[in-house]
């Protein structure tokens, strides 16, 4: 088991009743980009297209040929790996191998326990706040709340990743509904942080863990309250992003723009 927690620490509204009957629309199922490119977002408890089934079969054949065996937590993501690898079974196997080794090392000494993370979580750096219009959970990251002592002793990134992994495993167990809700929205708040104060290493580690070991789980990133300098830098970088990257990475000029994708009572007041 990747995580363990006391029953009283399972949040009361982790899974609202509406999630059990929710029907995702076409855009929630598959994101489409210019040039015909697309990315499936909902992968389980539904009928895959014939081309997707062929890709999964190719991946199964490659794994069998190489004598690979994987944790169930990885095999259930097979369609995500082969989709992310653009149908290349060799690349997908490499990614699955990496995640297998990562999970073996990360959880090798036992599950992440709520009791061991309680103190770190109490800083309010990283937490779920509500759901967007497609009932995708919203993960808020308040970078300003990273304690100075974490920066000084170099423990910040390690602590942050432990909290992130706990949240992602909690999400899979208590907040997703396969075939209906399988993605999250990540809202990163950079309020009161100048360009030199943004914890680049920590944010890169978060992105790395999500993109390598929880693939195709993030529907969109929203990065809010950027400083003037950071906003200027983003305006230079945005034109060179691919259509897929531009659709996933969003830089609202104001938190009020969040009302376009979430009912406002699902956000804290200072986030819109």
Question: What number is the average pLDDT over the span 101-130?
Answer: 95
Strands 218-224 and 184-189: parallel
Domains delineated in the chain: 25-106 (no CATH), 111-271 (3.40.525.10)
Query: Which ranges of the chain does DSSP label H, i.e. alpha helix?
Result: 26-29, 50-66, 72-75, 78-84, 89-106, 114-121, 148-153, 156-174, 200-213, 228-237, 243-248
Question: 114-121 and 156-174 are packed helices; what angle lies between their axes, rounded to 10 degrees?
Answer: 120
Q: What is the mean pLDDT of residues 66-87?
A: 93
Query: What is the reported pLDDT for 244?
Result: 74
> What per-residue confidence (pLDDT) applies to 196?
76
CA atoms lying within 13 Å on the CB side of residue 124 = 5
Query: How far is it, in rounded angstroms, from Cα 65 to Cα 63?
Result: 5
**Predicted confidence (pLDDT) at residue 235 exceeds the cutoff of 80:** no
Confidence of residue 52 (pLDDT cuts 50, 70, 90): very high
Q: State the DSSP code for 201.
A: H
Q: What is the pLDDT of residue 203?
A: 82
The percentage of residues in the chain with a pLDDT greater than 70, rounded to a whole number, is 100
Helix (H) or strand (E) holding 189: strand 184-189
Q: Which residues contact 93 (CB under 8 A, 6 or more apart)?
A: 59, 62, 63, 66, 68
| pLDDT tens, position by position, 203-228 | 888 888 988 999 999 999 999 998 88
Give the list of residues 6+ apart from residue 202 with CB closer than 8 angstroms, or none.
143, 146, 156, 157, 160
Q: What is the pLDDT of residues 22-41, one digit of tens each?
A: 999 998 999 888 777 888 99
Question: What is the pLDDT, as a whole number, of residue 226?
Answer: 86
- What is the full DSSP assignment across 138-158? EEEEEGGGS-HHHHHHT-HHH
**Res 224: pLDDT:** 92
110 SS3 class: coil
pTM: 0.91
Residue with tokens 């919203």: 138
Q: Which residue has the higher pLDDT, 52 or 233?
A: 52
Across the range 115-138, mean pLDDT stands at: 95
pLDDT at 234 over 80: no
């Amino acid at each position: 088991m990747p995580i363990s927690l006391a029953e009283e620490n399972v949040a009361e509204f982790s899974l609202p009743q509406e999630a059990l009957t929710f029907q995702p629309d076409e855009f929630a199922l598959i994101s489409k980009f210019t040039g015909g490119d697309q990315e499936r977002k909902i992968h389980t408890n539904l009928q895959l297209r014939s081309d997707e089934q062929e890709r999964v079969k190719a991946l199964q054949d490659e794994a069998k040929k190489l004598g690979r065996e994987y944790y169930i937590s990885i095999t259930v993501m097979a369609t995500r790996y082969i989709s992310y690898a653009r149908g290349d079974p060799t690349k997908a196997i490499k990614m699955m191998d990496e995640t297998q080794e990562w999970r073996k090392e990360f959880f090798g000494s036992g599950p992440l326990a709520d009791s061991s993370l309680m103190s770190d979580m109490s800083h309010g750096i990283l937490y779920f706040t509500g759901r967007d219009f497609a009932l995708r959970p919203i993960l808020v990251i308040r970078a300003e709340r990273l304690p100075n002592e974490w920066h000084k002793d170099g423990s910040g990134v390690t602590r942050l990743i432990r909290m992130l992994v706990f949240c992602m495993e909690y999400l899979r167990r208590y907040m997703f509904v396969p075939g209906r809700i399988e993605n999250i929205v990540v809202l990163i708040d950079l309020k009161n942080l100048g360009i030199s104060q943004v914890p680049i290493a920590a944010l890169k580690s978060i992105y790395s863990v999500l993109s390598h070991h929880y693939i195709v789980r993030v529907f969109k990133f929203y990065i809010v309250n950027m400083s003037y300098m950071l906003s200027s830098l983003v305006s230079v970088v945005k034109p060179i992003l691919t259509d897929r990257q531009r659709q996933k990475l969003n830089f609202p000029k104001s938190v009020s723009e969040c009302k376009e994708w979430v009912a406002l009572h699902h956000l804290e007041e200072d986030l819109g």
